[in-house]
Amino acid sequence: GQQLNQSPQSMFIQEGEDVSMNCTSSSIFNTWLWYKQDPGEGPVLLIALYKAGELTSNGRLTAQFGITRKDSFLNISASIPSDVGIYFCAGQKSNFGNEKLTFGTGTRLTIIP
């Protein structure tokens, strides 16, 4: 099945650094979502974006919905150890919760001591 393209595939950073990752698609989505998945757990929603051009923050996380509706970006400022995990973008064709999600390939974030 289709998966969105995420980059980078993995990141190795030091605590306190800022992180940027992005997600691109060949088709338009009208909702962009960012999830975090810890080992042995299901994905947990971090940020939801519903309008092209929208910039939304959740604490140290900021995400943007690209104006072409084919991409999205996630930034994490001043990383801390609990930020370690795998980050997934996901797109939906509509704004409704009764529609399937198309996920990206994931970005694995590791913090180097």
Partner 1 sequence: GAGVSQSPRYKVAKRGQDVALRCDPISGHVSLFWYQQALGQGPEFLTYFQNEAQLDKSGLPSDRFFAERPEGSVSTLKIQRTQQEDSAVYLCASSLGGRQETQYFGPGTRLLVL
Interaction site with partner 1 (CB under 8 A): 1, 3-4, 31, 35, 40-45, 48, 50, 88, 90, 95-98, 100-106
- The CB-of-11 to partner 1 minimum distance in angstroms stands at 15
CA distance 37 to 39: 7
Of 43 and 66, CB closest to partner 1: 43
Cβ partners under 8 Å of residue 45, min gap 6? 33, 34, 35
Minimum CB distance to partner 1 smaller for 50 or for 52: 50
Give the three-state DSSP class for 16: coil
Smallest gap, in angstroms, from Cβ of residue 6 to partner 1?
8
Tell me whether residue 73 or residue 103 sits nearer to partner 1 (CB atom): 103
Kindly tell me which of 41 and 113 has the beta carbon lying closer to partner 1: 41
Q: How far is the CB of 109 from partner 1 (least distance, A)?
A: 15
Euclidean distance between CA atoms 99 and 97, whole angstroms? 6
Kind of pairing between the strands at 31-37 and 85-92: antiparallel
Asked whether the beta carbons of 64 and 72 are under 8 A apart, the reply is yes
Residue 83 CB, shortest distance to partner 1, in Å, is 19
